[in-house]
Amino acid sequence: MSLDACARLVARGDPDRFLAVLAAPVAARVRLLPLYAFNLEVARVPWVTDEPLIAEMRLQFWRDVLADDHPPAHEVAGPLWQAMHESGIDSKELDRIVQARLWDVGRRAHADAAALAAYLDDTAAGLMWAAGRVLGAPAAAEGGLRDLGWAAGLANYLRAVPALQAKGRIPLVDDRARAISELAEQGLARLSSARAQRHGFGAGRPAALAGWLARPILEQARRFPQRVAAGGLGVSEFTRRGRLLWVAATGRF
């Protein structure tokens, strides 16, 4: 049950979020790393096997971990359990993240735009809210943190479209340029809503650092929707580093 193991997993599998953790206060990292490692473990379950039943069993393992009253002997589950119980976070929030990943197991498309929005709310928005909660964010911060998480999740989702398609998934309900631009606009609107509420995040403010790349990615998708299918969303390494420092210093995302 090592925090170092969680750090290694996140650094290797989710480098953008790992950089956000490094920009957070040391005390926050202890709570955030197990949560982000858990998210990574759950997110990759559907991609490590071609057998849906095996993937569902692995997701059920994490549901059982969340419902267990004792920390299991697992490099991620143990630190996660400790962070959950020290912070008093409701395990139901994390369970929604696991259940939402059942969509990734199958190869069906989202039923409609509302289904895609719900998927982002249960995964990315739920993770952002959980991150805020483990740090002590007040209940009133839920709306703003969820808005930020949804926007950041959409940015990451749009970046992942080519990879999802290569795996036989149908990530977008409507992949026409205009529809993608409108979807990015929705993300930017929720990002602006979150920014307006950021002063109410309280102790959960370090969790917001995970949304540091959302705005430039969504602005690119809005202006150049053709880049989504081409895998062309992203910023230079210089811009990446500078933006993270700016977000960490100003709290604006």
Domains of the chain are: 3-250 (1.10.600.10)
Q: What is the pLDDT of residues 2-57, one digit of tens each?
A: 789 999 999 999 999 999 999 999 999 999 999 999 999 999 999 988 899 999 99
Whether the predicted pLDDT of 72 surpasses 90: no
Average pLDDT along the chain: 95
Task: Kindly tell me the burial class for residue 95, based on how many C-beta atoms sit within 10 Å of its own C-beta (0-12, 13-18, 19 or more).
Answer: middle
Q: What is the pLDDT of residues 117-131, one digit of tens each?
A: 999 999 999 999 999
Calculated CA dihedral for residues 214, 217, 218, 223, nearest 10 degrees: 160
User: pTM score, two decimals?
Assistant: 0.95
214: nearest Cα among 89, 128, 106: 128
**Using 50, 70 and 90 to split pLDDT, how confident is the model at 85?**
confident
Q: According to the model, what pLDDT value does residue 1 have?
A: 53
What sign for the dihedral angle of Cα 223, 154, 121, 200?
negative
| For helices 3-13 and 26-44, angle between their N-to-C axes, nearest 10 degrees | 60
